Structure 1
Amino acid sequence: MVTRHGIKLAVYLISSYFGDLVSKVCECLLRRGTLSYANIIRFTELNKVQVRNALLVLIQHNCVQAFAIQQDGGFGEAPKIVTQYMALFDNIIHHMRFPKFLAIASEEFGKECEEILEGLLQHGRLSLNQILDRHKETSHQSEGNHTAQDALQQHFSKLINSRFVERCPAHEPFLAPPVEEETTVKKRGAKSAKVMEESQTIEQRALEAAAPMEALRFLVESHAETDDHGQVNEENPTGMTAGEKVGSELDTEGANKRKKEVLWRANFEEFVRRLRHKACIENVRTRLDDGTAIVLRAILDATRSAEVKVKLEESVPLSMNTIFEEVIKNEEGRTMTLEHVRAALVQLGCHLPAIGIDETYSIDLKSIIELAQNEEVESIVLRRYGREAYRMFRLLSKAGHLLETDKISDSTFVEKKDTAKILFKLWKDDYLHMEKVVTYGIKQSQFLLWKVNKRTLWEHVLDEMYHAALNLRLRIAHEQEQEKEILQLQREQLVGELAKRYRRWRKVRIVLESSLMKLDDAIMLFHDF
């Protein structure tokens, strides 16, 4: 869900990290969608070198994915292969979450793993040798210190095994022409044809084609090699067929070195999954109690330790024995009995079967997220419009269908005149959907019906959050610019009025950054979870 202010926030992030030229190319892709190299040059009005370098930076930092498609040539010309580039909005926004990702890795594996991950987040993608070289530079390690290198490789393996780090996708997958795909589908039968009709967008297909096979995604090989990553290709010469290697203007140097080491990057998907689990646990703790949160955390931990991929909608089914074993691993769970665990499962929405061999449970994570989303929007309405508006909004949100003004007034114990004013205010700010119904009889009457359209409202709320996040980042940058002279001084030079200004800046920064982190939690709730 890419909204208007979401694009503005993404462009600002790229501009603050990589400069205006790179952000201009990124903005062009975000606003216009997937484009060829020639079209990027045309729309941005930058020269070839500037666009090429900007794309290289964006690909290096996992913000753009390239893919090749076949296009028909002109009259009497053979088809040609053209490289397309698409911006990865989610990966750009994830730059705000790097401190959260580092905190997760540090909490689970310690400082050494955090430093490896920090290098990957800073540089986008690195080979194992580059990670080793970077560690030597930062730790001033001697060239022949094999013990330190072995330890670093062990830490790297921990990150791989926990799925915090993955192989980079293919730099430029080739998507077969639709005609070829239709022929293949016909051979497979009508069922496959139906699936093809509901097929993904070309961008989704490109991401799937670029993703490494699951068997290779987290595989570390001692001498693994792959094709060059991060190439930026122009349209190929006329006459190139679909199966040929796409040409690249970056191949002018090192043409004989076609093989390079496997490149690795942070696996954003796994970090988002961990943050989703944390959000579910904290929501259950706040809404229900600590015991239920302990049981939910145990279930989610058990699925991780079993290395089972959890679906977004629900957790993997687990037996009561497995759940209880996981609960008593933690000190706070050792006071719980089987009955306590069963009671917690009931609170989590599980239907308890008759006790026996098939006593398995799964948690509906989707419903927990939906409850959290409802609570977040209700809290916004309460803060912005007051308690009476909150009661009306909550009534309509739970009803899920159209209600008439008088019915809302009677149910919330608010005067009809005030009810109409509040409802109009919420409607004007896009928090409610309104429909007018006119009845004809002896006397013509008009009724106003109201409801909460969650799909459009959630998008509106998310866009407001992106807007607020952008404003916070701009305010942080403004405050830093205002006090840049003080920030350049040594600590011993900060005395008197300078010390006061420094303390004030520090307090302001802490408040703004903590507000931004909390706001990002809400953004993830509506966009990533």
Structure 2
Amino acid sequence: MADAETSRLCVQIVHSHFGPLTANVASALLTRGRLSLPQLVRFTGMKPKTVRTAILVLIQHNILWHAQTEEEGEMLEFNTLECLLRLRFGRYVWQAENIFGPTGAEIVQLILDHGKLRPPEIISRLSIYDPKSSSMYSQSLYKLVSEAYLKPSTILSHNSPRDKRIKYEAEEKAKITGFPTAKELREAKETAEARLKREEEEAEKVGLKRKPKDQLSSRSSKDDVYFRVNFDKFNIHIRNKLIEVAVGERFNHSAAFVMRATLKATESKQKSISDVRSDPTSTAAIAIHIPDDEDISMGLSTTSKKPSSASLVKDYLGIMACVDNPTLAGKAASYVSLTDNKVHVEFDLISKRLRKRVLESVTRERHGDDGVRVVRLLLDVGKMDEKHIAKVAMMANKDVRPLLSALSSDFLISTQEVPRSADRNPTRTFYLWHVDLAKAYSALLGNLYKTLYNISMRRQAEQEEPNVKAVLMKRERTDVAQDENLLSRMEREILAEWEMKREKLNVLEMRVEEAVFILRDLDTGGNTDEI
């Protein structure tokens, strides 16, 4: 089950998108875990028909999972991640418009509004007022499907993956003879995860391949496939933009432009946000994606008069690969790697640095520069006691002790007890401080979810203010919608003030959601390797 902050945010999202009755069903599932239909009826206190309708709505929008068990029968489980991704729907539509134009944005928005749709339904709904535009929408739909921005909705996507993951892990552990080691358990988990991912990829190919013997039959079967938006593909563009901005902040605008060209050269092969590194590309392929009117030599001090674009790209890649610092620290600070004249963008390394930057920014906001100094020291050195921290950080003991307690209360650092005797007497126990990244990121995510919930409630409260509510209801009238001059001067001022507040709240929500993206979505391999 989700924690309290995540549950409140999910219920608020469902309430704003589908209404209070559906939110009541979501709340019961989030607070009590898996439930059957009779249990949902009992816990929500609503009529069975109403509960069944709410379940159908949530399933249609991919927010509920099925789980079939022999003991309890069919159970329903809330898909928390799918619900939280609804906060990015506006950004997904904007990205679709930038990549595929207005028709692509209309298709993505329509599918997001309905959860999943078949191609004939998409074309008929969009071309209802202009039948001649159906071919244009068909071409955009084909591009979205062929480039994996839309994917088929399969039976596996509606079943809870947790059951199969547990089953596959049990099968892999049964193959181990004797007492399993930590390495064998980790390999069994990875094998089960790979098997589940392979099954999902094979299931998504249903309806996309045409048989040469029966073109008509295969075409009709393809029209029967329900398509949904592939959020992972859109998240790739968010990740790439964050990397580009990070390079610009670290070096300069020209280096960021070279990084954008590098990501563009491998963009077609970037299928998942969980990729550790990009596919290899060459310097020539990167130089092709740099326009002729872009002068990237401004960011370098060159001796030659007119250096070629390829040589400039090579110099920038060398800087981003930290070739001048061939140490472990240099490798950890790099953005790309150069091997055999091939360029790889190191997504995993960059993601780790972005997450640590969020951790440091929150620490600086709450505990100042001294708190950041302590956190960085513990990240670099590892476990240290209080006196050692004060000595290395060059701080007084009287200042270190309350600072460590404050950092620990916010779960930014943790303690490790090392007893010197079997009775674990506190007076004979060492207390070592360290940064548990998994715990720290989890605490930060909870606080960010709480902030998103507060932003949503503040927006709703501002909208429900009597004067604002009256003006908004008046603006929805047909005559006022056509001519806003029918509003009085005071009403226009109230409306302008409300729109300004809403814009500020939307900007704040986007910034917080970007931090959520860094901590949650860019955590491709978990935090165990960072501890």
Say yes or no: TM over 0.5: yes
Deviates more, 1:343-352 or 1:159-168: 343-352
Aligned AA (1:167): P
Q: Runs of 4 or more off by more than 4 Å in structure 1?
A: 171-190, 193-197, 199-212, 217-227, 306-311, 327-330, 332-336, 349-353, 435-440, 444-448
8 Å contact kept, 1:173–1:209: no
Change (3 A) 1:349 1:103: closer
Aligned to 1:165: 150
Against the structure 1 CA distance between its residues 349 and 505, is the aligned structure 2 distance closer, same or farther, given a 3 Å change threshold? closer
2:463 counterpart of 1:480: yes
Match of 1:198 in 2: 188
Whether the aligned pair in 2 keeps the contact of 1:63 and 1:91 (CA below 8 Å) is yes
In the alignment, structure 1 residue 57 sits paired with structure 2 residue 57: yes
Aligned to 2:438: 455
Match of 2:135 in 1: 150
Per the alignment, residue 206 of structure 2 pairs with 216
Does the residue aligned with 1:315 lie in a helix, a strand or coil? coil
Q: What displacement does 1:224 show?
A: 5.7
**Residues 17, 309 of structure 1: alpha-carbon distance in 2 compared, 3 angstrom cutoff:** closer
TM-score relative to the length of structure 1: 0.78
The residue number in structure 2 matching 1:4 is 4
**In structure 2, how many angstroms separate the alpha carbons of the residues matched to 1:466 and 1:183?**
34
Match of 1:262 among 209, 214, 225: 225
Tell me, yes or no, if the aligned pair for 1:173 and 1:206 is still in contact at 8 Å: no
Q: Deviations over 1:240-267 (max 9, x none)?
A: xxxxxxxxxxxxxxxxxxx982211111
Q: Taking every aligned residue pair, what percent have the same amino acid on both sides?
A: 23
1:39-438 paired onto structure 2 within 5 Å: 39-69=39-69, 71=70, 82-137=73-128, 140-141=129-130, 145=131, 147-170=132-155, 198=188, 213-216=203-206, 261-306=224-269, 311-327=274-290, 331=294, 335=309, 337-347=312-322, 348-350=334-336, 352-353=338-339, 358-399=340-381, 401-435=382-416
Give the aligned length: 474
**Structure 2 residue ranges without an equivalent (≥5):** 297-307, 323-333, 422-426, 475-479, 523-531
Shift of 1:513: 0.7
Quick one: structure 1 residues 350 and 157, their matched pair in 2 at CA, closer, same or farther if it must change by over 3 Å? closer
CA distance in 1, matches of 2:438, 2:39: 34
The one-letter code matched in structure 2 to 1:369 is S
Aligned-partner residue type, residue 421 of structure 1: P
| 8 Å CA contact 2:270, 2:278 repeated in 1 | no
Distance 1:408 1:182 in 2: 42
Q: Partners in 2 of 1:68 and 1:133 — Cα distance?
A: 36
Amino acid at match of 1:320: T
Across the aligned residues of Structure 1 and Structure 2, the Cα RMSD in angstroms comes to 4.0
Q: Distance in 2 between matches of 1:184 and 1:289?
A: 52
SS at match of 1:30: helix
Assess, with a 3 A threshold, how the Cα gap between structure 1 residues 496 and 415 changes in structure 2: closer, same or farther.
Answer: farther
Q: Distance in 1 between matches of 2:99 and 2:154?
A: 26
Query: Which whole-Å CA distance do the structure 2 matches of 1:479 and 1:204 have between them?
Result: 47
Shift of 1:65: 2.6
TM-score (norm 2): 0.77
Alignment check: 8 A CA contact 2:283 2:342 kept: yes
Contact 1:64 1:88 in 2 (8 A): yes
Q: Secondary structure at the match of 2:227?
A: strand
Aligned partners of 1:106 and 1:114 also within 8 Å: yes
Q: What residue in structure 1 maps to residue 328 of structure 2?
A: none
Task: Give 1:289 deviation, angstroms.
Answer: 2.8
SS in 2 for 1:216: coil
